Chain A
C-alpha cells in the first residue's frame, strides 16, 4: 500500500495474509472462505499442470487475526482444504486478468472476534459502489516504499469511471495488449501517490454501505501498471456473485 496509513487492530478484521507464490492478500467470507485473486495462486505464465490445486492447497498458508506479519505468523496458519479458481482466469494470457478471482476453503472454521470478522458481499442491485468517485478502502501487506510492509496498511481510494480508466490505459499501454474487461474496475489517482502495489494482490477493495452500515467487498486487488503511477485495476466482485455464492452455498 503506497501512501497509506497503518491499520489499527480490528480496522480490517477480514484481512488475510497469504503466502502461496509470494505474499498476497485475501478477505474472509463467512467463517471458512477466503476471497482472493486467482493470480496469486496460479501466477501468469505458470500453468496449472505444473502443480496441482490439491498440492497448492496443501502448501498454501493463510493467516488471520492481526495487523503485524510477525504476530500473524506466531498465531499460526489456517490450513486450506480446497482451492477454487474462476474458470475464466487464463494463466497463459499474460496481459488478461479477466476472471482474476479465487476462493480458498479453510479446513476448519475460524472463530470470529474483534480481529477476525468476515467482509460482506455487495447486493446485486447496488451498482453505486462503482460510480466515479465512490470512495473505498483497500488494506494490504504489500510493498510500501520498495519494501514489503511488516504491518497492515490501508489507503482510501476513489472508484473511477470506466472511460477514464480506459482512456488512461490506452495512453499507457503502448504495445502491451493489456485487457480492461467489464469484469474489472479501476480506482485511485493519477497524480496522488496513493495506490496498491505488489503484495497487495488478493486483498479486497471495500466500501461502507451507509444503508446497512456494513463494509462490503466490491473489488479484489488485481493488476496495475507500476504502483502509484496512475489507476489500479480491481476484479469487479459484483460480477462474480453467482459464482461465489454457488461455491460457498453448495459447500
Chain B
C-alpha cells in the first residue's frame, strides 16, 4: 500500500509491470491531487486474468466512498470486466486503487503470464460552482450569491448592494453609505420589489452641486412595516435635508412628492428583525433652487423684464421711474442687480425709490428766485423762476429762459436743459430820482 504523492499527473503500474504480475499479491494505491482538482484515471494497458465477476484477479477502483468498479480480463475476453478506454473520474481529489491477484494464473494447466496494468491519472480542474460536482452534500460551495470557478479553485461574489462577508461565502446587504451624485436617479430598498432583509441600517445620500433642489417621488409599490396605533414602530424610512428630518414614513400609502429645497438629502431606512414588506423605490430629480418672486417696495420701482420664476443664478435689475432715484437705506445707488443664490435667497434686498431732490437752487447775486408751484419744493418737476433786483439790475438768461425745473438728473435746468443760472447785470443811466428842472 503506497500513497501516491499529490501531483497533477502520474502513472500506476501493477507490480512488476510490464512483467507478469505475481500471484497472491494485494497492492493499493491512494491517488491524491491538489484541492480544487479531481482525479481522472484511464488504463493505458490492462491485462488481468479474466474471471466471472473478477473473482480471481481484479483491480478495484474506489473514490468518494463509492466503488467505481471491479475490473479484470483482457481486451476482447468474453469473461471478466475490461475497463477499456473508460475514464474514471472522482468527485473529490482522491482515488483509491486496489489490485488483487490470487494464487495462480493457469488455465487448464497452462500458466498464462498476465502482465497486469498500466494506468495514467491526471488532475482535472473541479468546477466547484457546479452543484453536480459536489462529492458530498456538505461539500458543495456555499456561495450565497455568485460562484466563480477557476483552475484549481473558486471564489464567491455578491449581488449589487451586498457585501461578501469574512467567510467568503455569505453576502450581507451593504447600504450604509450609498452615494448618489447624478442629477437624477432611482434608489430603492434592498431586493425591491421583493421583501427587504431584516436588521437594515441603510443610508442613501444624494449630493448635488449647490443651487440645486432635490425632488423625491415615491413609486409603487410602497410597503413598509407599520402599526395601527403606533406610528412606524418597526421599520422607518426617514428623509433628512441638511441634517434636519423632513419626513418619516411607513405603511402602504406612498407619500406625496417632496420638494426638499436642498442639494443634500439623506434617506435612512431602518428595519427590525422581522417583516415581509416589499419596500420602497424613489425617483429623485433635481431642479434649480428657486428664489422668492421679487416684489417692488413702492410704486416707483420698476423691475426690468420680470420673469414668472427665478432660479439659482438668475438675476433681476431694478430701476426707478423718471424723477426717482434708487436708494438702499440712506445710500443712493447708481444701479441695482440682485442674483438668486444657491440657498434660495437674493444676494441683495430690494431697494426703494425716492423722488429726486435737486436741493436748494443756486442763489442769484443781486436777484432771487421764487417757487412756481409749491414753496420750498426742490423735488422732481418743481419749477422756480429767477428774477433780478429791479430796477437796478436786469436779468440776462440763456436761451432757455428764467424758469428752471428740477430735472430727473437732480439738477435745476432751464428750458434748454442748461444748468447755468441767469446773471443780474447793472442797469446803467436810470437814476431812480433823476434831476428834474422845474423852472424854465
Residues on A lying within 8 angstroms of B by beta carbon are: 7-14, 29-31, 111-114, 117-121, 137, 154, 156, 206, 208-209, 212-216
Contact = CB atoms under 8 A, between A and B. Distances in A.
B364 to A, nearest CB: 13
B295 interface: no
Contacts of A156: 437
Interface in B130-184: none
Given A112-B393, A214-B429, A214-B430, A7 B366 contact: no
Given A8-B433, A12-B435, A214-B428, 6 more contacts: A112-B389, A114-B392, A117-B427, A119-B428, A206-B429, A215-B431
Nearest to A5: B435
Contacts of A30: 425-426, 428
A11 B436 CA distance: 9
Interface in B364-380: 366
B111 interface: no
Contacts of B434: 11, 208, 215
Nearest to B388: A112
Contacts of A14: 428
A213 B428 CA distance: 10
22 contacts: A8-B435, A9-B433, A11-B431, A12-B435, A29-B428, A112-B366, A112-B389, A112-B393, A112-B427, A114-B392, A114-B432, A117-B429, A118-B428, A118-B429, A119-B428, A120-B428, A154-B435, A209-B429, A212-B429, A213-B430, A214-B430, A215-B431
Contacts of B428: 14, 29-30, 117-121, 214-215
Contacts of A12: 431, 435
Contacts of B393: 112
Majority-rule SS of B interface residues: loop
A112 B429 CA distance: 12
Majority-rule SS of A interface residues: loop
A124 to B, nearest CB: 16
Contacts of A112: 366, 389, 392-393, 426-427
Contacts of A114: 392, 431-433
A10 to B, nearest CB: 3
A13 B430 CA distance: 9
A118 to B, nearest CB: 4
B237 to A, nearest CB: 91
